[in-house]
Structure 1
Amino acid sequence: MKRLSILFLFLSFVATAQKNISTQLSLEEYLGYVKKHHPVIKQAKLITSTNEAKLLKARGAFDPKIEVDYNRKEFKGSNYYKSLNSTFKIPTWYGIELKGSYENNSGQYLNPEQNTPENGLYNVGVSVSLAKNLFINKRMATLKQAKLYVQQGKLKQQLLINNILFEAINTYLNWLKYYQSHNVYKDYYTNADIRLKNIKKSFNAGDKPAIDTLEASINLKNRKLDLEKANIKYIKSKFELSNFLWIGNNIPMEIKEEIVPDINTSSNIDIILNTSISALFDNSFENHPKLKLLELKKRNLEINKQLKINNLLPKVDFQYNFLASKVDNFDAFSAENYKNSLQVSVPLFLRKSRGDLKLAKLKLQDIDFEIASTKVSLQNKIIATEQEISSYIKQNDILKNLVNDYNTIVKSEERKFFLGESSIFLINYREVKLIESKLKEIKNQYEYAKTKGKLIKLLGRLNSL
């Protein structure tokens, strides 16, 4: 598949100190493309469409129905029978069905009970379930559950998008971390190269021994090795980021080398993710999509329980139909001409129905336990994540001071070295500690921003960014 360059899509230019121009991809721009074009995001939206189709299907159980049954038999010149039976049925919400029909039967060998007047027989009536299936039946339960499935689909869609955006944010932050680490190694490789050149000049002038040039050369090679390792990690992180970047028609994109992340992302993460305290907790915790999804699941099980209770009732179906040989107006139907029926069915032991009801009650107990457990688990995770964020803020202050202190020590050691009061070994040692502190600071900023995203994910709010 043809890959397109992201260079033509992201045009956020930032001037560098040397007046060169590089293309910067911010987290906001990146998330905008993920939300709009990522295939999994599009796939998530199909969940709602699928459940809406199921709801439409469930509503179909209440559609009016026309039935026509025509039979005819002739043999050796004899009209054995000819029968026409057409029916129009209107199902209603409760266990009541309205029905109108027309019959016209004739024939030499027709069953006498099927005889009709010459012009046929009209009937209008009603079919009622007087016990089982009156207030709830399979058709009603299916429609109620289908309505809940639509709501569940929207919540599942939210949770799926929530997870995808969290992964996307982590991937961007990972790219940023390796970009900053690469720059640190690049800067200190340049420093090591300049230091080696200066020491060689001092050696040629007779101010420094030959061993110092060797020490500086070894240090330069180590810096080059570290830079190469950092470079490959940075390249891999860019390809991982490309997995989340798509444009229309499911075309993937790749990031050109000129594209760089926004180095101010960590400091602006609260604005980007809208993670202020008022924004995070403006809604009740009860509105968490995961808890709402479990509540809908419980309501679904309650409908199933009602259906099982319904199955314990005896089946009592009653039909009553007014009859008329011709229909000029509604008065043609008289109470004197009618047809009715009563069907009663009662299982003796109800073991199957009682077993189904017991299972339905156990499932409800199980979902209650799951809701309680999920609520406590989410609350504890949120509290722990908030403590984690506070810790990263404190660690960041400590690391900033450490970086400043190590930077001062390295500069002092360099001055002492060129005054002949120190050694290249001590400078390298101090510099290693400075690099380690800077990398720790970068990692801490990455963990801080990542944990902010984790908090929004736990609250189920990433999909609203």
Structure 2
Amino acid sequence: MKSSNFLIALLLTGFTLQVSSQELTGKVMSFDQFMEIVKTHHPIAKQANLKIQVGEATMQQARGGFDPKLFNDVSQKYFNDKNYYSLIDAGVKIPTWFGIEVKGGYEQNKGNYLNPENNTPSNGLWYAGISLPVGAGLFIDERRAELRKAQLFQEMNTAERQLMVNELLFESGKAYWDWFEAYNIYRVYQEAVALANVRYQGVKQNALLGDQPAMDTVEAGIQMQNRQLALRQSKLDYDNAAAHLMVFLWADGTIPLELENGTQPEVNENILGKGVDPYYFAQRDTLLIKHPKLKQFQLKMEQIAIDQRLKREQLKPTLNLKYNALSEAINSTPFEEYNANNYNWGLEFSMPILLRKERGALRLAEYKMQEAELEYGNQTAEVLYKINSALNEWEATKDQLDIYTQTVLDYNRLLNGERQLFNAGESSLFMVNSREVGFISAQIKQIEILAKNHKARLKTTYSFGLLGEQ
């Protein structure tokens, strides 16, 4: 009986050493490799990059408000073989950031019935001057407001891109660690089934030799069946986790990819738990302010502030001053014989009496600012809660992992001790199996906590909105 028990114990111990020392024969895809593939090739990552291009296009459109413009106005009338009038006015207008519009051109008018005020020298008339708003529009106008808002929109799109990539990498990162957890649990059950099969074969051999009752083979068979059932469930979980992982695998954002045969995540023995990076505690307030979601609200409030400033400017009366220096065209050289006494000027004034439209628009802008400020405060509180929650989870899982690593070692000592007792004939297969069940459960729990630790680390970086920057 003792020799038979010794044989079984030797087989179990040897097989355990063999399984635990196996090397992976498939291709290993690390977490960093997987995340780089997602960040580079996933459609959402490609879509996020378009946000930058949209911002640049919006800026280009807004800058167009300051593009110089050529103009040419020709008006002629002929009737009964008579030239009633011919009015030609051509030139260029140049808007500036300071609200001043520079204008220059050439005017030539003639005809039998020309309005005297349109008379020009026979060679035509050169003019150059400015238009200056000294009332509404002096400090800000629609053109300047749109350009500044476009600059803020470009920054908002940069933050939006960061948020999209941040969300994508968080979801894909969780999928990797689910895959990692399912694969390593599957490995544990593979070993457990193999050990149960060795035990079953040993017990059956002993029963044939008459060293053990036949009922022991039934118990050993049930144990093997239970572990086979658990193995099949773990294989299902692993296959589903791999299928979910493939959702994030693309080539150039257009071609969905599948995992190559034999591709596996890293084994848990090669992955260490991660403690909380002190940088996150030291820079928490600074990182909170820079969070892309909060940055979007800050930029939105800046846009509203520009609208407020524009609405206040529109409470002023419209008062535009125009001045043009004039010079007769001689030898096709503009202003060759310029005289300071030759000019025209004008003053344009208008103002609504009640200003109800303008005052109403200003009040709406003020309400929008109050609404944005309240939402910003609420979003700040939510982001801060998520950050603190993630940091707490990260810290807790690292402590749990440290504790349970020791627990696994202790379970292993119990198992080895029980095998030694069994070898000496002082224990039973039931006790060895019981110790094995405890050891298997401890291994699985350790893998789950290890995966949670890395998810908590990922979640912390995500909560700070920094995944898109990595």
Q: TM-score range by the shorter chain?
A: 0.7 to 0.9
Deviations 1:230-281 (Å, cap 9, x if unpaired)?
111111211222222233473332112311111258844659xxx6324774
Aligned-partner residue type, residue 329 of structure 2:
K
Deviations 1:390-428 (Å, cap 9, x if unpaired)?
221222233234334444445555666787776666655
- Superposed, which structure 2 residues align to 1:101-112 within 5 Å? 101-112=105-116
Aligned-partner residue type, residue 231 of structure 1:
K
Match of 1:355 among 360, 363, 368: 360
Task: Return 65-74 or 403-412, whichever deviates more.
Answer: 403-412
Is 1:462 the counterpart of 2:467? The answer is: yes
Deviations 1:271-328 (Å, cap 9, x if unpaired)?
9xxx632477458233333333322222221111101111111111221222233255
Deviations 1:51-86 (Å, cap 9, x if unpaired)?
111111111111111101123332332223322111
What SS does the aligned partner of 1:254 have?
coil
Q: How much does 1:336 deviate?
A: 3.1
Match of 1:233 among 237, 256, 278: 237
Q: In 2 relative to 1, CA 265–253 (structure 1 residues): closer, same or farther, beyond 3 Å?
A: farther
Is 1:330 the counterpart of 2:338? The answer is: no
What SS does the aligned partner of 1:330 have?
coil
Instruction: Determine the structure 1 residue equivalent to 2:375.
Output: 370
Aligned-partner residue type, residue 278 of structure 2:
I
Q: In 2 relative to 1, CA 395–279 (structure 1 residues): closer, same or farther, beyond 3 Å?
A: closer
Query: CA separation in 2, counterparts of 1:34 and 1:80?
Result: 73
Aligned-partner residue type, residue 387 of structure 1:
N
TM value normalised by structure 2? 0.87
Is 1:164 the counterpart of 2:165? The answer is: no
Instruction: Determine the structure 2 residue equivalent to 1:68.
Output: 72
Contact 2:268 2:447 in 1 (8 A): no
Q: In 2 relative to 1, CA 121–446 (structure 1 residues): closer, same or farther, beyond 3 Å?
A: same
Match of 2:122 among 114, 118, 125: 118
Instruction: Determine the structure 1 residue equivalent to 2:8.
Output: none
TM value normalised by structure 1? 0.87
Query: CA separation in 1, counterparts of 2:272 and 2:35?
Result: 15
Is 1:187 the counterpart of 2:191? The answer is: yes
Note the aligned Cα RMSD (angstroms).
2.7
What SS does the aligned partner of 2:163 have?
helix
Q: In 2 relative to 1, CA 249–308 (structure 1 residues): closer, same or farther, beyond 3 Å?
A: closer
Q: In 2 relative to 1, CA 137–19 (structure 1 residues): closer, same or farther, beyond 3 Å?
A: closer
Aligned-partner residue type, residue 444 of structure 2:
L
**Number of equivalenced pairs:** 447
Match of 1:308 among 291, 311, 336: 311
Is 1:453 the counterpart of 2:464? The answer is: no
Query: CA separation in 2, counterparts of 1:188 and 1:400?
Result: 19
Query: CA separation in 1, counterparts of 2:445 and 2:100?
Result: 73
Q: In 2 relative to 1, CA 116–329 (structure 1 residues): closer, same or farther, beyond 3 Å?
A: closer
Is 1:141 the counterpart of 2:145? The answer is: yes
Instruction: Determine the structure 1 residue equivalent to 2:55.
Output: 51
Query: CA separation in 1, counterparts of 2:413 and 2:218?
Result: 25
Query: CA separation in 2, counterparts of 1:428 and 1:357?
Result: 79
Query: CA separation in 2, counterparts of 1:402 and 1:268?
Result: 16
Instruction: Determine the structure 2 residue equivalent to 1:397.
Output: 402
Contact 1:27 1:265 in 2 (8 A): no
Q: In 2 relative to 1, CA 365–20 (structure 1 residues): closer, same or farther, beyond 3 Å?
A: closer
Task: Return 102-111 or 188-197, whichever deviates more.
Answer: 102-111
Query: CA separation in 2, counterparts of 1:226 and 1:84?
Result: 92
Q: How much does 1:209 deviate?
A: 1.9
Query: CA separation in 2, counterparts of 1:342 and 1:168?
Result: 64
Query: CA separation in 1, counterparts of 2:314 and 2:416?
Result: 86
- Superposed, which structure 2 residues align to 1:375-394 within 5 Å? 375-394=380-399
Aligned-partner residue type, residue 318 of structure 2:
K
Instruction: Determine the structure 1 residue equivalent to 2:278.
Output: 277
Query: CA separation in 1, counterparts of 2:437 and 2:366?
Result: 65
Aligned-partner residue type, residue 332 of structure 1:
E
Instruction: Determine the structure 1 residue equivalent to 2:14.
Output: none
Task: Return 275-284 or 113-122, whichever deviates more.
Answer: 275-284
Task: Return 357-366 or 426-435, whichever deviates more.
Answer: 426-435
Contact 1:159 1:290 in 2 (8 A): yes
Instruction: Determine the structure 1 residue equivalent to 2:201.
Output: 197
Query: CA separation in 2, counterparts of 1:91 and 1:20?
Result: 69
Contact 2:126 2:335 in 1 (8 A): no
Q: In 2 relative to 1, CA 264–193 (structure 1 residues): closer, same or farther, beyond 3 Å?
A: closer
Is 1:290 the counterpart of 2:298? The answer is: no
Is 1:246 the counterpart of 2:250? The answer is: yes
What SS does the aligned partner of 1:22 have?
coil
Query: CA separation in 2, counterparts of 1:70 and 1:20?
Result: 83
Instruction: Determine the structure 2 residue equivalent to 1:320.
Output: 323
Task: Return 400-409 or 336-345, whichever deviates more.
Answer: 400-409
Q: In 2 relative to 1, CA 17–461 (structure 1 residues): closer, same or farther, beyond 3 Å?
A: same
Query: CA separation in 1, counterparts of 2:427 and 2:166?
Result: 56
Query: CA separation in 1, counterparts of 2:203 and 2:308?
Result: 85
Is 1:210 the counterpart of 2:226? The answer is: no
Query: CA separation in 2, counterparts of 1:265 and 1:323?
Result: 88
Query: CA separation in 2, counterparts of 1:93 and 1:381?
Result: 43
Query: CA separation in 2, counterparts of 1:269 and 1:210?
Result: 46
Query: CA separation in 1, counterparts of 2:271 and 2:23?
Result: 24
Query: CA separation in 2, counterparts of 1:40 and 1:329?
Result: 58
What SS does the aligned partner of 2:83 have?
strand
Contact 1:266 1:448 in 2 (8 A): no
Query: CA separation in 1, counterparts of 2:37 and 2:382?
Result: 33
Contact 2:273 2:401 in 1 (8 A): no
Query: CA separation in 2, counterparts of 1:334 and 1:98?
Result: 20
Structure 1, gaps ≥5 residues long: 1-15
Instruction: Determine the structure 1 residue equivalent to 2:10.
Output: none
Task: Return 297-306 or 283-292, whichever deviates more.
Answer: 283-292
Aligned-partner residue type, residue 81 of structure 1:
Y
Q: In 2 relative to 1, CA 166–148 (structure 1 residues): closer, same or farther, beyond 3 Å?
A: same
Deviations 1:184-212 (Å, cap 9, x if unpaired)?
11111111111111111111111222222
